[in-house]
Amino acid sequence: MRNAVGAVDSVLVLGGRSEIGAAVAERLVRDGARRVALAARGAADSAGIAEVAARLRAAGASEVHPLEFDAARPETHAAVVEAAAELVGDLDAVVDAFGVLGDQAAFEADPAAAAAAATATYTGHVSAGLAVARRLREQGHGTLVVLSSVAGVRVRRANFVYGSAKAGLDGFAQGLGDALHGSGARVLLVRPGYVRTRMSAHVSAAPFPATPGQVADAVAEGLRTGAETVWVPRRLRLVFAGMRALPRPLWRRLPR
């Protein structure tokens, strides 16, 4: 449950090594969260998870638990969610932060790799999201924070494997939010633009870039205000309203 001042008290991060997921967890800890579960592949023996855990403890977390989580094994996702709840209690916020950006040219040369990336970026979220939704519905409260992307708002030639997976995730999150309406649980859909992380280091920066910290601030505000969707930065909402209206021949001519 939320603590005495209404702040999130427990957090589960699916994709515990994600720089954005870690930044969101750290921000929520600074706002009052005290119990965190970090779920990632090889979490128990991961130096990356240990580093994130140390940051969270330094920020004020009293408990940080690593959990094994593999996006490509949907049959295990419900058990991961239940294990997290056993460790930290009711889940106030679940941050859905896993995925693969990859390289479009490499995907076109290796369709199997493209399919594996799409599994991590979209289909793994379906099983994980439904498992989380069931838990939150049973609790009668809690928020699933889905890290989507403006890449899914209108898919570009330059990254259409990633963009199409994010488009699917975006639609899934909206539908899941509607399904949870009235249950006490909800979905917060987050649409960042280009975010500077290790995963995106090989990609040229797009206009209006953001940092993991800025995404975390937007998530914290969205949780506080009960928002359904947040854009990071906010101006991208207007930018993409215009981009949606571009005729397809013009859209194809945008720089790759």
pLDDT grade, residue 5 (50/70/90)? very low
The pLDDT-based confidence of 247 (bands split at 50, 70, 90) is confident
Q: Which of 69, 162, 172, 231 is catalytic?
A: 162
Residue in this structure with the two tokens 């119990």, named with its chain if needed? 35
Name the β-bridge partners of 204.
none
Say how many domains are in the chain.
1
User: Is residue 166's pLDDT more than 50?
Assistant: yes
Q: What is the pLDDT of residue 207?
A: 66
The helix or strand, by DSSP H or E, that contains position 114, with its residue range, turns out to be helix 111-118
CATH number at residue 127: 3.40.50.720
Backbone angles phi, psi at 184, to 5 degrees: 95, -20
What number of other Cβ atoms are within 10 A of residue 148's Cβ?
Answer: 24
- What mean pLDDT do residues 89-101 have? 95
What is Dmax (Cα atoms) for the chain? 55
Q: Is residue 2 part of a domain?
A: no
Q: How far is CA 208 from the centre of its chain?
A: 20
Q: Give a yes or no: residue 131 inside a domain.
A: yes
Please write the tens of the pLDDT for every residue from 46-66. Answer: 788 999 999 999 999 999 999
Q: Is residue 150 part of a domain?
A: yes
Q: What is the pLDDT of residue 205?
A: 62
C-beta neighbour count of 161 within 10 angstroms: 23
Q: What pLDDT score does 4 carry?
A: 38
Question: What is the chain's mean pLDDT, rounded?
Answer: 90
Q: Each residue of 215-236: pLDDT tens digit?
A: 999 999 999 999 999 999 998 8
Q: Range of 134's domain?
A: 10-252
Q: Is residue 1 part of a domain?
A: no
Residue 215 resides in a domain: yes
List pLDDT tens digits, range 23-37.
999 999 999 999 999
Q: Is residue 211 part of a domain?
A: yes
Of 206, 83, 200, nearest to 147 by C-alpha is 200
Q: Is the pLDDT of residue 140 over 80?
A: yes
Asked if residue 5 is part of any domain, the answer here is no
Asked if residue 68 lies in contact with residue 38, where contact means CB atoms within 8 angstroms, the answer is no
Give the pLDDT confidence of 184-213 residue by residue, as tens digits. 999 999 999 878 766 655 665 666 778 999
| Cβ-contact 206, 192 below 8 angstroms | no
Annotation marks residue 162 as catalytic = yes
Residue 223 lies in a domain: yes
